[in-house]
Chains A and B, each alone.
Chain A
């Protein structure tokens, strides 16, 4: 299957979800999303880093410099309490919308 763009508005939710597993750097987040989605969700750097900055601005994530698995200096992002709450809200909202879309598709 060819790679697809992430649905607009869901990238932040996907990043938050990824970070729930533990701190990760930008490259790791992109790789993880690609793998878990069966090579479908390819997140470009042009949207990944602005999204990460938005998470920082809103206080949903924190960033810290640390050492990567290859021994290089990398910036690790981790979830904050506010981020966890936000993730729950976004998941709930997402489910609601998907449910609604399904309903429409089934009815018509």
Chain B
């Protein structure tokens, strides 16, 4: 229908359409009667003849009125009204279908709410609509952060942005009087609060003096939540001094409540970026144009378009990079959101895709389930439909009415979902996120979520409603009004749905089994070293008060003190801690491999291998004497094989950070993630820099050590601090991702299994009720209960079998997609596939069993009386 037509109908519709039509037709009738009387017919006959020739008056009026009706819209309203009435009579059915669909739509809705919050919702910063994130990609299409000098150059020269800020997150050690703790800090440029800030709960933001590169003002701004929890929300905090990494900084303000900047989690405090070198000496200097990793955001001027700003900033970036002889790359602007962030872990993106596939499968499964229920109901209503068809109702009209009912049920499910979408995503994300991080993202169900749910409900309604409605109309046409007419089409559709359900369930279940197996596998994979009975010690040095000789002396003394603590077996230090998240690599070459290859490395102290229990396969490990050598190296098995296959390298020289003699070959160990095949790696001896950490092997109780070690640091030098934690925490963190993926997969797998069971139960129940008479006859003729069981099960077993095979193929395909999360487990893992089949078979049997039993207990006599 045309919109202009709709408008005409609304505008010109007479106010008394009904009365007008009635009176008009009455007038017509009267005129006819008069004419007939004029022809000489008697009174009664004229009346009769006039009425006869007028035909069906009601129908004429109906048709005339239809010219004004809104067509489908009015029909839909009527269909929905009928739908509500008919569903009210079957509350049990309506509730079951709604819940089934709510499960499917709900999972998708929750995932979309999370996606919406991450991808579309702007950060809660000032004038977010004009804030963009600058990102660059180098030639290898890899994300690259900005150096501080490049940021300063862009900020000084850009005409299109009236504010450019840089920031980077970093953990710091915070001390307030006697209290010390690790805190997430954001190092930000001095203009950060001017550009992005949403105000202050107390005090002010950074002063311009905090941006001075040589003598930055020692300031910090507290986050609102931290101010409340750590400082009791006292306004007196402004002006006080706190110690950050051993440096005294003055609190100048508290950011407004809810402000996290363009970050998905709340930092505890903001520190001027120019203080970076002072607070983290030794690691790198932000003055170098080769430094990296600042996030840069710009606030565009109101009259400037994004494309214009992008080309200007790209030119500026190229100018700067060419002047310092750095590789140039493409610069892009994006509205800051977590998913748009190119530095985002690709695995997080992948988890999203996997979850999306799984939830869509789940939705299909619940659709198939609801379709089967709907089908059973349509079968029961076949008589009604047949009567209406024979009375002249259009098939399309009946189809539409059945569909309207399905849409109604799907909409109910969508509404239920909208209710839970307001709080469940928030709960799930908080469960997944590491407990020490406070999430700053709002997971409100907004108009986008509502739109998504409306679309999803509509599609769902069509998906699960169309096939049963078509089948019902077709059946009714075929069987007509025949008493108890039974056709095979409905039964066949149901069995097909059953197979589809089982296939979907097997796919989801198979993938879930794979993930669970992979996590088991990951637990069993040997990391290559013993991480039990190990304490990780992170010295937090007040570096500003020490020169490097004093620093080394402190570390040396600290280490010796810890070695003497009761229960300590050995102590070692390393620049890179396994599962610590850090990775350093460089190029290595040998006689046989002159072209060289890239290998990871760590600078370690003597006794490192002994402390971690890493076996030495050939040669020996570093001793105290080696620590000052510049020409010794230990290599792992993989590197040894790559550099010189089939020949021992011990005693030979290789090129690895200078020419070095291989003094030993050691076993492979996992570095940052548990892997069955760790890459090439080597160790060089040395005392390490300020970023080194200690590993302490102990025997006996752990608890006393965790407090004795920090005390030892203070005993050596009262200005210093050290944190001690069980090393197992590191490993657990590395395994978190696998654990979360596996438990989510478990939940989704269980949901799909229970949906499939409901489906199997429903089909079996329906079959038994449909064939009660047949079963009764067979029993009366002497069929044994075994034969009855096979009669009931045969068709279903075939459907389950076909479904399971298709589903397993699907699971294999899904598994290939999951490969990167399987820790080396094959997607065709026999244990996972066998478990899937086994679970499915057991559950299918359990689901069908009550009905099979019912079938064998049918009383022939009563069954024959059964309609």
Which residues of chain A have a CB within 8 Å of any CB of chain B? Answer: 25-27, 44-47, 49-50, 52-54, 56-59, 63, 68, 70, 72-75
Q: Is the CB of A70 within 8 A of B34?
A: yes
Q: Is the CB of A72 within 8 A of B27?
A: yes
Complex CA–CA separation, A58 to B2 (angstroms): 12
Q: Is the CB of B55 within 8 A of A45?
A: yes
- Could you list 25 examples of A-B contacts with CB < 8 Å? A25-B24, A27-B28, A44-B55, A45-B28, A46-B56, A46-B59, A49-B60, A49-B64, A50-B60, A50-B63, A50-B67, A53-B67, A53-B68, A56-B14, A56-B67, A57-B9, A57-B67, A59-B8, A63-B20, A68-B31, A70-B34, A73-B23, A74-B24, A75-B23, A75-B24
8 closest residue pairs by CB, A with B: A53-B67, A49-B64, A27-B31, A50-B63, A46-B60, A50-B64, A27-B28, A53-B64
**Assuming the A-B contacts A46-B55, A57-B5, are A27 and B68 also in contact, with contact meaning beta carbons closer than 8 angstroms in the complex?**
no
Size of B's binding interface in residues, CB under 8 A: 29
Q: Does B351 contact A (CB under 8 A)?
A: no
Residues of B within 8 A of A27 (CB): 27-28, 31-32
Q: How far is the CB of A5 from chain B (nearest CB, A)?
A: 13
Complex CA–CA separation, A26 to B64 (angstroms): 13
**Assuming the A-B contacts A45-B54, A70-B34, are A26 and B63 also in contact, with contact meaning beta carbons closer than 8 angstroms in the complex?**
no
Residues of B within 8 A of A50 (CB): 60, 63-64, 66-67
Residues of B within 8 A of A52 (CB): 64
With A53-B67, A63-B14, A72-B27 known, 17 other A-B pairs at CB within 8 A are A25-B24, A26-B27, A27-B27, A45-B54, A49-B21, A49-B60, A50-B67, A53-B64, A53-B65, A53-B68, A56-B12, A56-B67, A57-B67, A58-B5, A59-B8, A68-B31, A73-B23
- Which of chain B's residues 557-611 have a Cβ closer than 8 Å to chain A? none
Residues of B within 8 A of A70 (CB): 31, 34
Q: Does B30 contact A (CB under 8 A)?
A: yes
Residues of B within 8 A of A73 (CB): 23, 27
Interface centre among B20, B28, B57, B65 (most CB of A within 10 A): B28
Q: How far is the CB of A52 from chain B (nearest CB, A)?
A: 7
Q: Which of B12, B14, B25, B56 contacts A49 (CB 8 A)?
A: B25
Interface centre among B32, B57, B63, B67 (most CB of A within 10 A): B67
Q: Which of A47, A49, A54 contacts B24 (CB 8 A)?
A: A49
Residues of A within 8 A of B68 (CB): 53, 57
Residues of B within 8 A of A68 (CB): 27, 31
Residues of A within 8 A of B66 (CB): 50
Q: How far is the CB of A69 from chain B (nearest CB, A)?
A: 10
Complex CA–CA separation, A70 to B35 (angstroms): 12
Q: Which of B12, B27, B28, B56 contacts A57 (CB 8 A)?
A: B12
Complex CA–CA separation, A45 to B59 (angstroms): 10
Complex CA–CA separation, A54 to B54 (angstroms): 20
Complex CA–CA separation, A45 to B57 (angstroms): 8
Q: Which of A25, A45, A54, A57 contacts B60 (CB 8 A)?
A: A45
Residues of B within 8 A of A56 (CB): 12, 14, 67
Nearest-neighbor residue (CB-CB) of A58 within chain B:
B8
Residues of A within 8 A of B27 (CB): 25-27, 68, 72-75
Residues of A within 8 A of B31 (CB): 27, 68, 70
Complex CA–CA separation, A11 to B28 (angstroms): 18
Complex CA–CA separation, A54 to B9 (angstroms): 10
Q: How far is the CB of A24 from chain B (nearest CB, A)?
A: 12
Q: 0/1 per residue, B1-43, Cβ < 8 Å to A?
A: 0000100110010100000110111011011101000000000
Complex CA–CA separation, A25 to B20 (angstroms): 12
Q: Is the CB of B59 within 8 A of A57?
A: no
